[in-house]
């Protein structure tokens, strides 16, 4: 159907409430808005769904949630009744309508004969990953839009290993959605009936206790925390989200005595009224936390995003303010710290390994290899990181001690297969205390690593292109880089070009084309003759092209100059379409 026909189909549906009918009727004559809401379904990818809430086929609402869940249920049932009987874990975060969407999803699964373990109230994303593994579920889903603005919601999907869906399952769900009518092909049932029949059971304290026991088992060095506990102060904010209980709890168990929480942001509120963006990756989101930190003279500020899978920190800058540690810098610091802490504690496994996304800093590879630890790259997304972890460990090729992405996502241990802000908050705090016990800060630790491995700097440029036109522009930009290959960037020559779509690396000096281990993702990488690497990829969850600049320099000014120069070049990509 055309978007006008789909709009009419919704407008005439008896399933909608009077309020929903009124919202659609008010769109009459606004062709651009009608097209945006109805030209296609929300795209179902390996990260699930994500979109603006509202009425329409390309919006997050109870109908599109049921639609996606029906498709997901059919993919699960295709595994066989015995496998489907293992059930599905369902979780939700603090966002508007998240609890409603989670219950609707649970009712669709139950109506399809698939048992559901539904969290009694909001829980962090890593706990959903844990629940899938702990309760031997075949799959899981979490209603969340992570760090997106308040008008968004989403739907993350997981398979039996606790990791987000592999591509072939995501593609199967997308195909099922194309075949199903959003209203007439959906099975659902009354919630109370599903509970009475045992098709929906509730997860609560028992799950929390099991999860938190695994988190606390990751403590390496409680003694260093105890040494500074009387003077060490830190500030925490959950940005109105799901970390508000568990992170303060594990920090208390670690031995932190002086924890100051940003009270305004400890209130669960999916409108996120105290921040422009609930994304801890943005330093400006920490305004209230910095205000409190200055008041109490805190050594560390820590913030988790609304679904508590990502975490960021700020530390004193020595000039009366606070500076943010980037995701790449935190990854470097944590890897180096964990190597030392595990060796000091005698807990380093045989064949240790680390895994990161290919857009994250190469400095971790240098640290790993200098310490005799294998290092592996994957495509962006923890589903790929977890797939690599499973592959290495099942084959006996290595034991992964740490995984991370530059976008402030970290994973340790074996009990989750996703980013985990709860455990990362514990380890970032433990590491900070270890440095404090030596009279040092995280910034001192970074400088010591730069002195040893060279100055590294990373910067990401986001080329935002919203709407239907933006999608076409992004495709045109990526296509043109392949049809008209770039050989020079901001005065530096391209020495090699890696196309991760077809899995080839081209040496520009010789023209030789060689196969790579990774293929099948719309990513381009340029290696430059000054040692810089540039990576270009469309975001999988937001309307933007991301350009990652991985630079090295003889000192900080040299590194910064390169990042600025290549960032300016990145902005010109919009003209290459």
CATH number of the domain where residue 533 is located = 3.30.310.50
User: Do 505 and 426 belong to one domain?
Assistant: no
Shortest CA distance to 105 belongs to which of 192, 42, 24, 188? 188
In CATH, what number is assigned to the domain containing residue 394? 3.40.120.10
End residue of a domain, out of 291, 322, 353 = 322
| Cα–Cα dist 310/239, whole Å | 12
Give CA separation, 378 vs 117, 135, 164, 516, 535, in Å. 31, 28, 15, 12, 13
User: Do 53 and 183 belong to one domain?
Assistant: yes
Domain assignment of residue 21, yes or no? no
- pLDDT at position 489: 96
| Cα–Cα dist 70/187, whole Å | 7
| Cα–Cα dist 549/535, whole Å | 7
Give CA separation, 75 vs 27, 41, 44, 276, in Å. 35, 18, 13, 38
Please tell me the pTM assigned to this model. 0.94
Mention every residue, 6+ apart, whose C-beta is less than 8 A from residue 395.
Answer: none
Half-sphere exposure of 514 (CA within 13 A, CB side): 9
Instruction: Give the CA angle between residues 156, 161, 163 to the nearest 5°.
Output: 35
Domain assignment of residue 28, yes or no? no
Place of tokens 């985990």: 420
Domain assignment of residue 183, yes or no? yes
Cβ(171)–Cβ(157) under 8 Å? no
Domain assignment of residue 512, yes or no? yes
Instruction: Give the CA angle between residues 445, 450, 453 to the nearest 5°.
Output: 120
Measured over the CA atoms of residue 524, residue 488, residue 483 and residue 573, the dihedral's sign is positive
User: Do 364 and 315 belong to one domain?
Assistant: no
> What phi and psi, each to the nearest 5 degrees, are found at residue 202?
-105, 135
Widest Cα–Cα separation across the chain: 70
End residue of a domain, out of 322, 337, 363 = 322
User: Do 369 and 302 belong to one domain?
Assistant: no
Cβ(309)–Cβ(409) under 8 Å? yes
| Backbone angle region of 148, left / alpha / beta, with phi > 0 → left and psi within -120 to 50 → alpha | beta
Cβ(239)–Cβ(265) under 8 Å? yes
Domain assignment of residue 6, yes or no? no
| Cα–Cα dist 354/369, whole Å | 10
Half-sphere exposure of 190 (CA within 13 A, CB side): 4
Domain assignment of residue 26, yes or no? no
Give CA separation, 290 vs 147, 229, 298, 370, 488, in Å. 20, 21, 9, 36, 42
User: Do 164 and 290 belong to one domain?
Assistant: no
Domain assignment of residue 361, yes or no? yes
Half-sphere exposure of 378 (CA within 13 A, CB side): 19
One digit per residue, the tens of pLDDT, for the chain of length 577 reads 899 999 999 999 999 999 999 999 999 999 999 999 999 999 887 778 999 999 999 999 999 999 999 999 999 999 999 999 999 999 999 999 999 999 999 999 999 999 999 999 999 999 999 999 999 999 999 999 998 899 999 999 999 999 999 888 999 999 999 999 999 999 999 999 999 999 999 999 999 999 999 999 999 999 999 999 999 999 999 999 999 999 999 999 999 999 999 999 999 999 999 999 999 999 999 999 999 999 999 999 999 999 999 999 999 998 999 999 999 999 999 999 999 999 999 999 999 999 999 999 999 999 999 999 999 999 998 999 999 999 999 999 999 999 999 999 999 999 999 999 999 999 999 999 999 999 999 999 999 999 999 999 999 999 999 877 888 899 999 999 999 999 999 999 999 999 999 999 999 999 999 999 999 999 999 999 999 999 999 987 678 999 999 999 999 999 999 999 999 999 999 877 6
Q: By residue range, what is the domain housing residue 285?
A: 213-322
Q: How far is Cα of residue 197 from the mean position of the Cα atoms in its chain?
A: 35
User: Do 54 and 193 belong to one domain?
Assistant: yes
Give CA separation, 95 vs 61, 241, 242, 265, 418, in Å. 13, 8, 10, 14, 20
Residue ranges in 12-61 assigned as alpha helix (H): 18-25, 31-38
> What is 441-469 written as a DSSP string?
-HHHHHHHHHHHH-EEEEEEEEEE--HHH
Is residue 379 exposed (0-12), middle (13-18) or buried (19+ Cβ within 10 Å)?
A: buried
Measured over the CA atoms of residue 363, residue 365, residue 369 and residue 373, the dihedral's sign is positive
User: Do 238 and 343 belong to one domain?
Assistant: no
Residue ranges in 354-485 assigned as alpha helix (H): 363-370, 382-394, 421-437, 442-453, 467-483
For residue 202, what are the β-bridge partners?
118
User: Do 388 and 317 belong to one domain?
Assistant: no
Instruction: Give the CA angle between residues 197, 198, 201 to the nearest 5°.
Output: 140
Number of domains making up the chain: 4
End residue of a domain, out of 453, 484, 508 = 453
Shortest CA distance to 125 belongs to which of 150, 171, 162? 162
Domain assignment of residue 68, yes or no? yes
Shortest CA distance to 548 belongs to which of 356, 401, 389? 356
Measured over the CA atoms of residue 553, residue 558, residue 563 and residue 569, the dihedral's sign is negative
User: Do 421 and 346 belong to one domain?
Assistant: yes
User: Do 254 and 378 belong to one domain?
Assistant: no
Cβ(363)–Cβ(348) under 8 Å? no
User: Do 467 and 431 belong to one domain?
Assistant: no
Place of tokens 């379409």: 577
**Catalytically annotated residue among 98, 146, 360, 407:** 146
- pLDDT at position 469: 85
Residue 342, SS3 per DSSP: helix
- pLDDT at position 278: 95
Does residue 224 carry a catalytic annotation? no
- pLDDT at position 576: 73
User: Do 558 and 568 belong to one domain?
Assistant: yes
């Amino acid at each position: 159907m055309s978007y006008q026909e789909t709009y009419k189909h919704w407008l005439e549906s008896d399933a909608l409430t009077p309020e929903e009918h009124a919202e659609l009727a008010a769109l009459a004559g606004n062709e651009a808005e009608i097209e945006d809401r109805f030209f296609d379904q929300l795209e179902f990818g390996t990260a699930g769904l994500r979109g603006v809430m509202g009425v329409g086929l390309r919006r997050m609402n109870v109908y599109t949630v049921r639609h996606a869940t029906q498709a997901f249920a059919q993919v699960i049932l295709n595994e066989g009744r015995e496998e489907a009987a293992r059930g599905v874990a369902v979780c939700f975060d603090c966002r508007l309508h998240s609890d409603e969407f989670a219950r609707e999803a649970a009712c669709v699964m139950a109506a399809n004969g698939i048992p559901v373990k539904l969290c009694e109230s909001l829980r962090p994303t890593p706990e959903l990953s844990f629940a899938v593994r702990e309760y031997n579920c075949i799959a899981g889903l979490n209603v969340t839009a992570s760090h997106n603005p308040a008008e968004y919601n989403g739907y993350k999907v997981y398979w039996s290993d606790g990791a987000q869906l592999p591509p072939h399952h995501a593609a199967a769900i997308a195909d099922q959605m194309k075949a199903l009518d959003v209203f007439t092909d959906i099975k659902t049932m009354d919630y109370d009936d599903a509970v009475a029949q045992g098709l929906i059971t509730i997860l609560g304290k028992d799950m929390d206790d099991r999860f938190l026991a695994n988190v606390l088992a990751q403590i390496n060095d409680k003694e260093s925390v105890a040494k500074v506990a009387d003077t060490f102060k830190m500030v925490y904010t959950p940005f109105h989200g799901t970390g508000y209980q568990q992170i303060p709890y594990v920090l208390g168990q670690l031995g932190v005595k002086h924890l100051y929480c940003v009270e305004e942001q400890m209130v669960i509120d999916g409108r996120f009224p105290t921040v422009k963006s609930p994304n801890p990756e943005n330093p400006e989101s920490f305004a209230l936390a910095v205000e409190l930190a200055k008041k109490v003279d805190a050594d560390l500020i820590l913030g988790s995003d609304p679904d508590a899978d990502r975490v960021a920190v700020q530390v004193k800058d020595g000039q009366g303010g606070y500076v943010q540690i980037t995701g790449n810098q935190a990854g470097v610091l944590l890897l180096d710290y964990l190597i030392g802490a595990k060796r000091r504690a005698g807990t380093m496994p045989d064949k240790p390994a680390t895994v990161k996304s290919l857009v994250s800093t190469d400095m971790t590879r240098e640290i790993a290899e200098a310490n005799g630890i294998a290092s592996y790259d994957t495509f962006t997304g923890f589903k790929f990181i977890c797939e690599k972890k499973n592959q290495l460990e099942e084959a006996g090729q290595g034991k992964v001690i740490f995984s991370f992405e530059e976008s402030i996502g970290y994973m340790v241990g074996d009990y989750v297969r996703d980013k985990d802000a709860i455990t990362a908050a514990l380890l970032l705090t433990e590491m900070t205390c270890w440095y404090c016990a030596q009279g040092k800060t995280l910034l001192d630790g970074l400088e010591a690593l730069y002195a040893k491995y060279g100055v590294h700097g990373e910067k990401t440029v986001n080329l935002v292109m919203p709407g239907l036109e933006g999608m076409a522009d992004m495709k045109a930009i990526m296509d043109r880089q392949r049809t008209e290959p770039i050989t020079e960037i901001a005065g530096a020559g391209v020495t090699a070009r890696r196309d991760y779509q077809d899995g080839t690396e081209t040496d520009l000096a010789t023209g030789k084309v060689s196969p790579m281990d990774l293929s099948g993702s719309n990513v381009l990488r340029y290696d430059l003759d000054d040692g810089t690497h540039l990576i270009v990829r469309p975001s999988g969850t937001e309307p933007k092209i991301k350009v990652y600049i991985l630079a090295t320099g003889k000192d900080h000014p040299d590194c910064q100059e390169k990042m600025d120069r290549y960032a300016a070049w990145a902005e010109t990509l919009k003209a290459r379409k």
